[in-house]
Every structure is written in structure tokens, then in C-alpha cells.
């Protein structure tokens, strides 16, 4: 049968046209929502980043003045520094903590399902709620953390009130969310066949050897996925700092996304806030692309050779 003839018949087939119309009608609500609430705001923010706009009057075109201002803005550099320091500390801890919990939750032992549930429960709690709980736990006078340190003769710091301890306190608070990465790691660990470990044990491979040469290579795609998620989420950290410290003390926890919020909704510098947001987008994009390019050196996919 002639292929062009089949194509012409399909093109003029009433059933095919009805299917096409039904398809576009089905996706129309999502498409309208995407255009109105995602694409349009993105384009508006891009335009606004080149203007002076206070939301109360018409935007005034300023060219690259907002970006020039950013280069000389010490608050911007402080917020970028805080965000990067938090990312460098949080991401390795999140990956290591999530993987450790997943390894503990993998064996089919009595009570393991309860352990998985308890470990994951904090992830479903409201962000504001768990921050308030941690604020109480880290209270310098009556908090559980300092009370526990006092039992062993250690005087606890003032945590969220001390510029030297506020950011480490937020990092400690982030341990609450290890359950998210744990669940993803656990799905990868469960997918590894037991036969692989049994064969390695027959070859006298120890636990560390099996973990390093079998577990890590086989879950490296999961590790890569969690790494991307962690980096993106840390660059968008907002709730912890906004509720617990509001960027203080002395801008020690002034994250970039919090600084964007202040410029937009406290100072009504919507144009400058849009420029900051686009710089944040470019930073996240660059980090993500670098990680994607790096995966060829350390991520193993099924069908590739791996040393065991």
C-alpha cells in the first residue's frame, strides 16, 4: 500500500479529526492555565527586570540599570553567599542522611514499615509548623536542644539569635526533611536484585566492597536525581529563614529568595526583584547543566559496563 495515500486517508478521516479536536479540548484547561499563569508571568518578569516599577505606577524602562545596581549591592552578594554556603552544607548532608536512612529501612525486618512511616512523616508536615517546632527546640533558655546539652555539661549557643550560629541552626533544622530523599533512595535500593549481593558474597566481597562496587553504581541514577532536586531546592530556600529569623541576625540568614521577596513586596522594587529572580534562575540553570554534564563520569545506567 502506498504510504502517502495512507497519510492522505488519515488526514481526511473524520474519526481522526474528531480525535484531534478531542485531544486539544482535553488539554485546553491546562494549556490556558500554563499560558496565563506561567508563561505570561515569566515574560512580564523578564520585561520588568529592565524597568523601574513600584506596582503603583506604570513601569519605566531603565535598560540594564537593575543589573548594574545588583553588581554594587552588598545585600545581594551577602544573600548569594548565604545561599551558596547553605547549599554546600545541606546537599551532602541530605544525600548522606537520606541514603543512610534508606539503607536502614531496606532490610525486611519486623517494624521496618513503622520506621519508614515515622521517618517520612515530617516531610508531609507544613513547612511553617515544623519551623515553629524547631524554633521552640532551639530556644536558648528553654529549648530541648540546650536542655539536653546542659545535661552533659555543655552550654548551648543562642542558636537563632547568634549570627555565628543562625545558619548552622537552619542547616540542623533541614535534617527534618531527610525522609524525602530516603524514599527515593529506598526505591532504588529495593530494585537491586538480591542475587547480585549473593554472588558478591560468594566471591568473598565484604560489606564495604559490596556497598562501594555494587550499591553505589546501581543507585547512581537515583543519587544523581536526588542531587539535582537538593541543589534546586536549596537555592530556593525561603520558609525556614522567613519564619525563624527573617534573614537575621545581621543578615546571617538572608537567603537570595528572601531578599527577592523583600525587594518585591516590602520595598515595592518589583523591577529590581525581577532582575534578582532572573539572576537566580541563571545560577540554578548553570549549576544544573554542570551536574548534567558531569553525570557521564560517575552515573551508571543499566546496560553499561561497571567494575564489580
C-alpha pair distances (Å), 22 with each of 13, 19, 34, 301: 14, 5, 19, 38
8 Å CB contact between 256 and 242: no
Give pLDDT tens digits for 124-137. Answer: 876 788 899 999 99
Judged against a pLDDT cut of 70, whether residue 15 lies above it is answered with: no
What does the pLDDT read at residue 206? 82
Identify the band that residue 110 occupies on the pLDDT scale cut at 50, 70 and 90: confident
Share of the chain above pLDDT 70, in %: 93
What's the confidence (pLDDT) of residue 286? 96
Render pLDDT for 20-38 as a digit per residue (tens, 0 to 9): 888 889 999 999 999 999 9
Helix axes 74-105, 112-124, angle to 10 degrees: 160
What's the pLDDT score for residue 63?
94
Section 69-91 average pLDDT: 96
HSE-CB at 226 with a 13 A cutoff on CA atoms is 28
Residue 51, H or E segment: strand 51-52
Burial of 140 (0-12, 13-18, 19+ CB in 10 A): middle
Question: Residue 120: pLDDT above 70?
Answer: yes
Using the predicted structure, report yes or no on whether residue 4 has a pLDDT greater than 60: no
Would you say residue 11 has pLDDT above 70?
A: no
Nearest Cα residue to 104 out of 121, 87, 90, 116 = 116
Query: Which residues does residue 60 pair with via DSSP β-bridges, in sequence order?
Result: 52
Find the mean pLDDT for residues 142-148: 91
Say yes or no to pLDDT of 8 above 70: no
**What Cα–Cα distance (Å) separates residue 224 from each residue in 66, 78, 145?**
35, 29, 33
**Interaxial angle between packed helices 112-124 and 178-190, expressed in degrees from 0 to 180 and rounded to the nearest 10:** 140
- pLDDT number for residue 304: 58
With beta carbons less than 8 A apart as the criterion, state whether 70 and 76 touch.
yes
- For residue 1, the model assigns a pLDDT of 46
Domains of the chain: 3-66 (no CATH), 70-124+176-298 (1.10.3720.10)
In this predicted structure, the answer to whether residue 234 has a pLDDT above a threshold of 60 is yes
Total count of residues recorded for the chain: 308
Q: What is this structure's pTM? A: 0.86
Going by pLDDT thresholds of 50, 70 and 90, the confidence category of residue 204 is: confident
Q: Please, are residues 271 and 67 in contact by the beta-carbon 8 Å criterion?
A: no
Closest CA to 170 of 239, 77, 263, 261: 239
Cβ atoms of 178 and 97 closer than 8 Å: yes
Average pLDDT, the chain: 89
Residue pair 59/271 in contact (Cβ under 8 Å)? The answer is yes
Phi, psi of 295 (to 5 degrees): -65, -25
Over the stretch 188-202, which tens digit does the pLDDT of each residue have?
Answer: 998 888 888 888 888
SS3 252: coil
Predicted pLDDT of residue 6? 45
Mean of pLDDT values over 291-304:
85
- 282 pLDDT band, cuts 50/70/90, is very high
What per-residue confidence (pLDDT) applies to 81? 97
**Neighbouring residues of 85: CB distance < 8 A, sequence distance ≥ 6:** 167
The residue with cell 555539661 is 153
The angle subtended at Cα 197 by Cα 191 and Cα 200, nearest 5°, is: 145
Amino acid at each position: 500500500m502506498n504510504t502517502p495515500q495512507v497519510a492522505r486517508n488519515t488526514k481526511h478521516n473524520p474519526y481522526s479529526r474528531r480525535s484531534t479536536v478531542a485531544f486539544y479540548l482535553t488539554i485546553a484547561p491546562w494549556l490556558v492555565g500554563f499560558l496565563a499563569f506561567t508563561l505570561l508571568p515569566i515574560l512580564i518578569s523578564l520585561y520588568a527586570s529592565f524597568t523601574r516599577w513600584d506596582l503603583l505606577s506604570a513601569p519605566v524602562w531603565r535598560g540594564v540599570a537593575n543589573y548594574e545596581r545588583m553588581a554594587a549591592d552588598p545585600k545581594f552578594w551577602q544573600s548569594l553567599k548565604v545561599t551558596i554556603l547553605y547549599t554546600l552544607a545541606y546537599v551532602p548532608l541530605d544525600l548522606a542522611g537520606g541514603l543512610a536512612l534508606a539503607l536502614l529501612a531496606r532490610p525486611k525486618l519486623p517494624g521496618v514499615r513503622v520506621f519508614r512511616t515515622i521517618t517520612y512523616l515530617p516531610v508531609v508536615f507544613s513547612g511553617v509548623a515544623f519551623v515553629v517546632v524547631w524554633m521552640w527546640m532551639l530556644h536558648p533558655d528553654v529549648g530541648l536542644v540546650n536542655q539536653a546539652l546542659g545535661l552533659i555539661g555543655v552550654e548551648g549557643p543562642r542558636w537563632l539569635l547568634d549570627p555565628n550560629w543562625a545558619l548552622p541552626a537552619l542547616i540542623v533544622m533541614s535534617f527534618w526533611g531527610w525522609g524525602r530523599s530516603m524514599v527515593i533512595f529506598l526505591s532504588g535500593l529495593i530494585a537491586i536484585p538480591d542475587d547480585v549481593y549473593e554472588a558478591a558474597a560468594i566471591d568473598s566481597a565484604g560489606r564495604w566492597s559490596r556497598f562501594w562496587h555494587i550499591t553505589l553504581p546501581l543507585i547512581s541514577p537515583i543519587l544523581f536525581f536526588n542531587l539535582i532536586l537538593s541543589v534546586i531546592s536549596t537555592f530556593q530556600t525561603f520558609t525556614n529563614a522567613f519564619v525563624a529569623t527573617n534573614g537575621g541576625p545581621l543578615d546571617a540568614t538572608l537567603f537570595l529568595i528572601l531578599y527577592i521577596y523583600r525587594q518585591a513586596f516590602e520595598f515595592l522594587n518589583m523591577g529590581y526583584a525581577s532582575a534578582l529572580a532572573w539572576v537566580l534562575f541563571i545560577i540554578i540553570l548553570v549549576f544544573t547543566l554542570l551536574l548534567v554534564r558531569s553525570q557521564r563520569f560517575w552515573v551508571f545506567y543499566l546496560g553499561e559496563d561497571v567494575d564489580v
